[in-house]
Chain A
Amino acid sequence: MALGAQIILQPINLLFCFLGCLMGTLVGVLPGLGPTAAIALLLPNTFHVPPVTAIIMLAGIYYGAMYGGSTTSILVNIPGEAASVITCLDGYQMARKGRAGPALGIAAFGSFIAGTISIIGLMVVAPPLAKFALAFGPPEYFSLMLLGIIILIYLASGSILKALMMFVFGLLVSTIGMDCISGTQRLTFGILELCDGVGLIPAIMGLFGVAEVIANVEQMIKTDTITTKVTNLLPNLQDWKDSFWPIIRGSFLGFFIGILPGPAPVIASFTSYAIEKKLSKHPEKFGTGVIEGVAGPESANNSATGGAFIPLFTLGIPVNSVIAILLGAFMIHGIQPGPMIITKHPDLFWGTVMSMYLGNIMLLVLNLPLIGIWVQVLRVPYPILFPLILLFCLIGVYSLNYSLVEIGLMIGFGVFGYLARKFQFEMAPLVLAIVIGPMMENNLRLSLVISQGNPLIFITHPLSAIFIFVTLALLLSPLVPWIGKRRQKLQEKVEGEEV
């Protein structure tokens, strides 16, 4: 630790840590431009500095983006990152009520607390937890995701039927692309761009960004703009009371989910929202602008970034695309990735960990004054703001793969999202299905290939069996009235186990 402090306090490392955090905040705020693209772009600029400095900056971009991602979700209902989709639900409603400041504030504070908790976790429990990730094979993943979806749909705010419809539609969308086992192309209609499936970013930008613009244009014709009277900039005492436990729960949840491979920050934020809603005394208010709906998910997606470093440092496994680039950066700098990183390059590990402490403080300092500026965005007249939003969505999506097909997809999703919203369908189950669908299918089929077609593999693996059992219990509970009464209790237990 002393070693780490020594490293991060060198002026060059401080500078690069700050640059990383700043860049991260910026790409987080800009819709479409995510940390993966930013890190890939900046990678060549790190060749001339020592590896630890490079990693400090690249890591800063990663967790910085999670801070910034919530900003546009709250202000204009467009997630800057996939992980901030769920923040739109209550964050944007808070902004409409003139409480954009507290929403942004609690997102920043929650991110700070969660970031700190996950760094402590990274330091203290990294090695034993790496083994935890290894216990998850294809059957365990499948069962866990099955349980996850059942819980989420169960807790949908509006009609369960409509949530299910959106979810199934999302699953259908997620089957587009190359079959993961046989290599057959499904529903690609000869478009090579669809081989890897429908991109998540074009879908999110369309469903939220474009649809929001269309909906507001319509509303503006009918009524005037929303009042942007901003009451206060920082969360008050009551906000803190409401947010404390969601932040703590979100932090721990995000940390554990972060260790598992996959789009952890996205899943962590969705799960956190579902749990907060379930535990809340007023679940019916979720979606109308309650602060817990911002605090929990924003904490969860931030601590998931800390969790994701554990498999990298202890096993040399990249759990997501950002970490994969970091791993590539290790190799370019001549550091052999793998379980020996911590012992062979203690300066790298401790330097990075200590930089994350400092980076978190920098981000808080950076983001709090920005809140005042961000809320000014709401004062920009809509005829100017909306074309700008559309422009950012277009640039963001095009910059991903330089693909016009994805632009078309985004517009298509935009129109669909607008219509779906008119009929009170929720977007969140659709997005979740697009995220989780390919992973679920892949793990289901991998399990069956491994077991040579025997479905009992989901029950003979103990961890998987627990998930399946709880899923069945949840599904069957409404059928038995006396169990139905105890549903509440059961569910709290379920969520405990999931953590």
Chain B
Amino acid sequence: MFLIFAVSFMFAATAGAQEFPRGPINYMNPFNPGGEVDIAARAMQPSLEKNMGVPFVIQYLPGAGGALCWSKLAAAKPDGYTVGGFSIPHIILQPIFMKDVAFKADDFVILSIVEYTPIGLAVKKGFKASTVKEFIEYAKANPGKVSCGGVGKFTGHHFAALQFMKMAGIKLNYVTFTGTAPMQTALMGGHVDAVFSNSTMMVSSKDEIKVLAMGSEQRMNQLADVPTFKELGMEFYPRIARGVMAPKAVPKDVSKRLEKAFLETISKPDFKAKMENAGFVPQVWGIEESRKYLDSETRLLNRLIQDNPDLLSTKN
């Protein structure tokens, strides 16, 4: 800790003449250390510090599925010295389904989307269906009997399951897990039939489960023998996208400077290779492209909510 402070003061002293940044940049991490947001942030950290010439301090503010951190970030001083990690669709869905949340997705400017994890469908080993087609047929023959896990309710996994059920015209028994680890264990042990989960989990346990399809545009290098939903004729691209955002009122030149630093960092081949190896799909999107993605995801999710009116009745 003292080291961090000492280093920050040093940088603050030397960077005085420059416009922005003059001091350390605080990065608020909405999830626990070791999570997907953390892995990307840690992998970017050294190169970002070199790029900006100031320390990039990672602070953990986990709680309420990210809502705690984002509520704080929305109220933070918009000077560019406080930025935060995020995931889509969480920042879209939480203001709709959780009360006491003090932010909306529109309160932020997304500086960059740096990676995403496609969501895939996997079944336990030895399950009666070994392709998506068989899975849908089996689920049609046994409506509501196939148990299908996902992490959390009103999350990316939950909405992926809802969308898949709608497209395939089936009904699954959605089982809400509190995290990836218990879900992974339950699937490997055969306690649930199937899961919707991130590519990172699929890559790390691909030999112990059967991955049926992934929501990426192209096949992933780490899962070369797994088809995409697109190949199977489904326009279905479920994913969780992550990156960095700041309060909306940040001055234009500051957000441009931050965007530049992030884009330069994530374009580097070694960053991309690291992310791919761990099961992520690297993405290099700046402010404009990120905005477009956020808007299109918001429209898609709103349609899904309209199709499932009972979801809103559980708003709390």
- Report chain B residues within 8 Å CB of A319: 181
Task: Decide if B88 is an interface residue (CB 8 Å cutoff).
Answer: no
Task: Decide if A326 is an interface residue (CB 8 Å cutoff).
Answer: yes
Chain A, interface size category, equals: 35 or more
Partner of A338, one of B62, B99, B206: B206
CB of A449 within 8 A of CB of B175, answer yes
Task: Decide if A180 is an interface residue (CB 8 Å cutoff).
Answer: yes
Contacts A193-B63, A328-B38, A401-B61 hold; do A183 and B33 have CB atoms under 8 A apart?
Answer: no
CB of A328 within 8 A of CB of B207, answer no
Give B29's nearest chain A residue, CB to CB: A40
Contacts A192-B67, A452-B173 hold; do A137 and B191 have CB atoms under 8 A apart?
Answer: yes
Give B186's nearest chain A residue, CB to CB: A137
- Report chain B residues within 8 Å CB of A442: 178
Q: A-B pairs with CB below 8 Å: how many?
A: 165
Partner of B34, one of A47, A139, A315, A324: A324
Name the interface residues of A119-148: CB closer than 8 Å to any CB of B: 133-139
Contacts A43-B42, A137-B189, A334-B274 hold; do A192 and B35 have CB atoms under 8 A apart?
Answer: no
Partner of B184, one of A39, A44, A135, A317: A317
Name the interface residues of B182-213: CB closer than 8 Å to any CB of A: 182, 184-186, 188-192, 200, 203-208
> CA of A452 to CA of B146 in the docked complex: distance in angstroms?
10
- Report chain A residues within 8 Å CB of B101: 192
Task: Decide if A450 is an interface residue (CB 8 Å cutoff).
Answer: yes
> CA of A44 to CA of B49 in the docked complex: distance in angstroms?
12
CB of A44 within 8 A of CB of B45, answer yes
Give A311's nearest chain B residue, CB to CB: B185
Contacts A185-B316, A317-B181 hold; do A328 and B35 have CB atoms under 8 A apart?
Answer: yes
- Report chain B residues within 8 Å CB of A44: 42, 45, 58
- Report chain A residues within 8 Å CB of B99: 185, 190
Task: Decide if B153 is an interface residue (CB 8 Å cutoff).
Answer: yes
Contacts A136-B189, A338-B207 hold; do A196 and B63 have CB atoms under 8 A apart?
Answer: yes
CB of B153 within 8 A of CB of A181, answer yes
Partner of A183, one of B59, B152, B207: B152
CB of A339 within 8 A of CB of B152, answer no
- Min CB distance, A100 to chain B, in Å? 30
Task: Decide if A221 is an interface residue (CB 8 Å cutoff).
Answer: no
> CA of A339 to CA of B222 in the docked complex: distance in angstroms?
15
Task: Decide if B32 is an interface residue (CB 8 Å cutoff).
Answer: yes
- Report chain B residues within 8 Å CB of A280: none
Give A336's nearest chain B residue, CB to CB: B277
Task: Decide if B68 is an interface residue (CB 8 Å cutoff).
Answer: yes
Task: Decide if A14 is an interface residue (CB 8 Å cutoff).
Answer: no
Give B193's nearest chain A residue, CB to CB: A450
> CA of A492 to CA of B274 in the docked complex: distance in angstroms?
52
- Min CB distance, A176 to chain B, in Å? 13
- Report chain B residues within 8 Å CB of A331: 39, 200, 274, 277-278
Task: Decide if A4 is an interface residue (CB 8 Å cutoff).
Answer: no
- Report chain A residues within 8 Å CB of B181: 261, 317-319, 324
Q: Which of A319, A321, A326, A328 has the most CB of B within 10 A?
A: A328
- Report chain B residues within 8 Å CB of A139: 191
> CA of A327 to CA of B192 in the docked complex: distance in angstroms?
24
Q: Which of A40, A191, A192, A327 has the most CB of B within 10 A?
A: A192
CB of A328 within 8 A of CB of B39, answer yes
Task: Decide if A372 is an interface residue (CB 8 Å cutoff).
Answer: no
CB of B33 within 8 A of CB of A316, answer no
Per-residue contact bits, chain A 297-314, to B (CB 8 Å; 1 contact, 0 not): 000000000000001000
CB of A338 within 8 A of CB of B98, answer no
Task: Decide if A362 is an interface residue (CB 8 Å cutoff).
Answer: no
> CA of A47 to CA of B222 in the docked complex: distance in angstroms?
24
Partner of B71, one of A36, A192, A321: A192
Task: Decide if A178 is an interface residue (CB 8 Å cutoff).
Answer: yes
Chain B, interface size category, equals: 35 or more
CB of A321 within 8 A of CB of B32, answer yes
CB of B185 within 8 A of CB of A317, answer yes
CB of A180 within 8 A of CB of B42, answer no
Per-residue contact bits, chain B 89-116, to A (CB 8 Å; 1 contact, 0 not): 0000000011111100000000000000
CB of A450 within 8 A of CB of B189, answer no
> CA of A182 to CA of B177 in the docked complex: distance in angstroms?
11
Task: Decide if A465 is an interface residue (CB 8 Å cutoff).
Answer: no
- Min CB distance, A424 to chain B, in Å? 35
- Report chain A residues within 8 Å CB of B191: 137-139, 450
> CA of A27 to CA of B164 in the docked complex: distance in angstroms?
47
Name the interface residues of A309-367: CB closer than 8 Å to any CB of B: 311, 315-319, 321, 324-329, 331-332, 334, 336-340
Task: Decide if B138 is an interface residue (CB 8 Å cutoff).
Answer: no
Partner of A340, one of B63, B154, B185, B207: B207
> CA of A44 to CA of B56 in the docked complex: distance in angstroms?
11
Give A450's nearest chain B residue, CB to CB: B147
Per-residue contact bits, chain A 53-79, to B (CB 8 Å; 1 contact, 0 not): 000000000000000000000000000
Task: Decide if A446 is an interface residue (CB 8 Å cutoff).
Answer: yes
Task: Decide if B43 is an interface residue (CB 8 Å cutoff).
Answer: yes
CB of B178 within 8 A of CB of A192, answer no
> CA of A193 to CA of B99 in the docked complex: distance in angstroms?
13
> CA of A319 to CA of B206 in the docked complex: distance in angstroms?
19
Contacts A183-B152, A185-B316, A318-B34 hold; do A446 and B63 have CB atoms under 8 A apart?
Answer: no
CB of A326 within 8 A of CB of B100, answer no
CB of A134 within 8 A of CB of B97, answer no
> CA of A199 to CA of B45 in the docked complex: distance in angstroms?
29
Task: Decide if A223 is an interface residue (CB 8 Å cutoff).
Answer: no
- Report chain A residues within 8 Å CB of B205: 315-317, 338-339
CB of A337 within 8 A of CB of B153, answer no
Partner of B33, one of A40, A180, A192, A340: A40
- Min CB distance, A331 to chain B, in Å? 4
Name the interface residues of A199-228: CB closer than 8 Å to any CB of B: none
CB of A135 within 8 A of CB of B189, answer yes
CB of A182 within 8 A of CB of B189, answer no
> CA of A408 to CA of B206 in the docked complex: distance in angstroms?
45
CB of A195 within 8 A of CB of B68, answer yes
**New contact pairs (8) apart from A316-B184, A450-B192, CB-CB < 8 Å:** A40-B33, A192-B64, A192-B101, A311-B185, A315-B184, A315-B188, A336-B204, A446-B186
Q: Which 7 A-B pairs have the closest CB atoms?
A: A137-B191, A328-B34, A195-B64, A40-B33, A134-B189, A325-B34, A331-B278
Q: Could you pull out 30 A-B pairs where Cβ atoms are within 8 angstroms?
A: A137-B191, A178-B64, A182-B153, A182-B176, A183-B153, A184-B314, A185-B100, A191-B100, A192-B63, A192-B68, A192-B101, A315-B184, A316-B205, A317-B181, A318-B181, A321-B34, A331-B200, A331-B274, A332-B43, A332-B274, A336-B204, A336-B222, A336-B277, A338-B203, A401-B60, A401-B63, A402-B59, A446-B175, A449-B175, A450-B191
Tell me the B residues contacting A by CB distance below 8 Å. Answer: 1, 32-35, 38-39, 42-43, 45-46, 58-65, 67-68, 71, 97-102, 144-145, 147, 152-154, 173, 175-178, 181-182, 184-186, 188-192, 200, 203-208, 222, 273-274, 277-279, 314, 316
Tell me the A residues contacting B by CB distance below 8 Å. Answer: 36, 39-41, 43-44, 47, 133-139, 178, 180-185, 188, 190-193, 195-196, 261, 311, 315-319, 321, 324-329, 331-332, 334, 336-340, 401-402, 442, 446, 449-450, 452
